[in-house]
Amino acid sequence: MSFSETVRDPLTGTGIRFSDVTDSRCPQDITCLLPGKVQAHLDIIRNEKVISSFTISSGEQIESFVNQQSFIFTFSAVTPDTRSTEGRKENYTITLEVEPE
């Protein structure tokens, strides 16, 4: 899923939008004491309106309710692999797995 992209469920029309990203990982050309993390802000959209929002960190799994149903969201991968000193939000893509609970 690319930054600012919305992916919709074809049956319900409900969508998930990757609306913001925060990257505290160490830049690729610097040695850091802490590895940092990537956080993706996601909006749940229905009828072109945001009905819910949450933030998930790389490697994290969280539960959220959408349309009165519980889903497990897993943020399993992000590119770029490491933060560059010229990082732009538009360059980010995430792999987000969504499963009903």
Residues 2-56: pLDDT tens digits? 999 999 989 888 999 999 999 988 887 788 888 889 999 999 999 999 999 999 9
> Has residue 15 been placed in a domain?
yes
Cα torsion 41, 43, 44, 48 to 10°: value is -160
pLDDT tens-place string over residues 49-94? 999 999 999 999 999 888 778 899 999 999 987 776 566 899 999 9
What's this model's pTM, rounded to 2 decimal places?
0.86
> Has residue 1 been placed in a domain?
no
Question: How much is the pLDDT for 86?
Answer: 62
Domain count, the chain: 1
Cβ atoms of 100 and 44 closer than 8 Å: no
Residue ranges making up the domain that contains 19: 6-100
Instruction: Tell me which long-range contacts 65-70 makes (C-beta under 8 A, separation of at least 24).
Output: 66/14, 67/12, 67/14, 69/100, 70/100, 70/101
CA distance 91 to 85: 13
> Has residue 62 been placed in a domain?
yes
CA distance 51 to 36: 30
> Has residue 55 been placed in a domain?
yes
